[in-house]
């Protein structure tokens, strides 16, 4: 029986564990701890992916829902209200609902494994993380003003950064601030500041710039989730992408177990993740061009352009697609 060690404790690690166990693999999890995001917003598309992958139709039952998005993006932009459909959940609660049964925290003595899936740092010694930006984000608990719509989220660009207000319950929400301290950005806000009664605490700070490990796969190992790619929270559904990577990673392991050539399957995995990272950078470029209004935006946009140039330079290093994903299985093209 093929043995797989999965290092991590997030969505990507749990997704790999669930899918590989369901396919009959012997899985050992080496769980790692890291700070959890206090709130994430999951679109209808991402919810459907989770329900399908984990076979859990009730996964998002009773969670707060977002039905409207209010955006003021760009210099002197007027607020624009758009229909939206999403749920809000803390990363910790999501993981508790996903947690695999019979998780092992250690590798039994003498047990051999064929694969190691790295879903949390540290990375293998031959992998290097490339960073494209320097922006940090702060998440801080807030109390919305009376009458604020608990089913609306708010997004606003500021001269030196951006703000994102996400309710997680009536009378409660989280403010995500990138580019500076929440208080200083709110002083320049025209939209979101009107929705907040007071700031709470404590604060959580984390990187908000795109980054990629390279290489993110090799003989007998592959990286997925935040160990492979990390997205700007403004421009990407990082939680959904982590699960998509887990689905592809588990499909790689299954394909090799069925006789596919490891080099070919890993080359496809590399190409797919690289394409996803490039699409994310292109989306970032669009947001940062339209929101730019000062030196901070110019600096971060330059970093995005460096990332796109880096992706272009990798184009000749095995970035062609060789398989297609059918359900949770890989099938060779041609």
Give the model confidence (pLDDT) of 250-284 as tens digits: 999 999 999 999 999 999 999 999 999 999 999 99
Band (pLDDT 50/70/90 cuts) for residue 105 is: very low
Residue 208 near residue 135, CB atoms below 8 Å: yes
Residue 222 near residue 117, CB atoms below 8 Å: yes
pLDDT given for residue 316 in this prediction: 64
The rounded distance, in Å, linking the Cα atoms of 317 and 314 is 5
Residue 216 near residue 270, CB atoms below 8 Å: yes
Band (pLDDT 50/70/90 cuts) for residue 319 is: low
pLDDT given for residue 94 in this prediction: 96
pLDDT digits (tens, 9 = 90+) for 26-56: 999 888 887 888 999 999 999 999 999 999 9
pLDDT given for residue 23 in this prediction: 94
Task: Assess whether pLDDT exceeds 90 at residue 20.
Answer: yes
* Mean pLDDT along residues 165-173: 92
pTM: 0.93
* Count of other CB atoms within 10 angstroms of residue 24: 10
pLDDT digits (tens, 9 = 90+) for 285-307: 999 999 988 899 999 999 999 99
* Mean per-residue pLDDT over the chain, rounded: 91
- 3-state SS assignment for residue 243: helix
Instruction: Find the distance separating the first CA and the last CA of the chain, reported in whole Å.
Output: 30
- 3-state SS assignment for residue 84: strand
Cα atoms in the 13 Å half-sphere on the side-chain side of 208: 22
Band (pLDDT 50/70/90 cuts) for residue 244 is: very high
pLDDT given for residue 254 in this prediction: 96
- 3-state SS assignment for residue 83: strand
* Best CATH choice for the domain 3-38+91-133+210-332 from the list 3.30.1330.40, 3.50.50.60, 3.50.40.10, 3.40.630.10: 3.50.50.60
Residue 47's contacts (CB-CB under 8 Å, 6 or more residues apart) are 59, 60, 87
Q: DSSP per residue over 108-168, as a string?
A: PTT---SEEEE-SSSPPTT-EEEE----EEEEEEEEEPTT--TTEEEEEEETTEEEEEEEE
pLDDT given for residue 228 in this prediction: 96
Band (pLDDT 50/70/90 cuts) for residue 1 is: low
Bridge partners for 205 per DSSP = 138
Task: Assess whether pLDDT exceeds 90 at residue 231.
Answer: yes
pLDDT given for residue 111 in this prediction: 55
Picking from 71-80, 108-117, 178-187, 247-256, which range would have the lowest pLDDT averaged per residue? 108-117
Topology at the third CATH level for domain 39-89+135-208: D-Amino Acid Oxidase; Chain A, domain 2 (3.30.9)
* Mean pLDDT along residues 66-75: 96
Structural domain spans, the chain: 3-38+91-133+210-332, 39-89+135-208
Task: Report the b/e string of 111-140 with b at 16+ CB within 10 A.
Answer: eeeebbbbbbeebbeebeeeebbebebbbb
């Amino acid at each position: 029986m093929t043995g797989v060690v999965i290092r991590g404790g997030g969505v990507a690690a749990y997704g790999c564990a669930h899918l590989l166990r369901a396919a009959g693999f012997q899985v050992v999890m080496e769980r790692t701890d890291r700070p959890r995001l206090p709130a994430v917003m999951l679109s209808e598309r991402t919810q459907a992916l989770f329900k399908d992958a984990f076979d859990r139709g009730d996964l998002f039952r009773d969670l707060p829902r977002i039905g409207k998005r209010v955006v003021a993006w760009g210099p002197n932009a007027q607020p624009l209200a758009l229909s939206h459909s999403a749920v809000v959940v803390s990363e910790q609660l999501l993981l508790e609902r996903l947690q695999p049964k019979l998780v092992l925290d250690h590798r039994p003595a003498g047990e051999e494994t064929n694969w190691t899936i790295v879903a949390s740092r540290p990375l293998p010694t031959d992998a290097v993380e490339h960073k494209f930006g320097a922006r940090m984000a702060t998440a801080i608990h807030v109390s919305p003003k009376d009458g604020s719509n608990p089913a609306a989220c708010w997004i606003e660009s500021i001269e030196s950064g951006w703000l994102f207000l996400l309710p997680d319950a009536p009378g409660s929400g989280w403010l995500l601030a990138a580019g500076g301290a929440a208080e200083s950005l709110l002083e320049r806000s025209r939209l979101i500041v009107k929705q907040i009664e007071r700031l709470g605490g404590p604060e959580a700070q984390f990187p908000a710039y795109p980054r990629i490990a390279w290489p993110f796969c090799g003989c007998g190992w592959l990286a997925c989730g935040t160990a492979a790619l990390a997205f700007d929270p403004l421009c990407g559904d990082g939680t959904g992408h982590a699960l998509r990577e887990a689905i592809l990673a588990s499909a790689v392991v299954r394909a090799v177990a069925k006789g596919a050539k490891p080099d070919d399957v890993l080359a496809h995995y590399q190409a797919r993740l690289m394409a996803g990272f490039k699409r994310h950078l292109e989306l970032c470029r669009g947001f940062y061009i339209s929101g730019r209004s000062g030196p901070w935006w110019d600096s971060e946009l330059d970093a995005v352009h460096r990332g796109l140039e880096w992706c272009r330079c990798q184009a000749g290093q095995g970035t062609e697609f060789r398989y297609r994903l059918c359900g949770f299985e890989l099938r060779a093209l041609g």
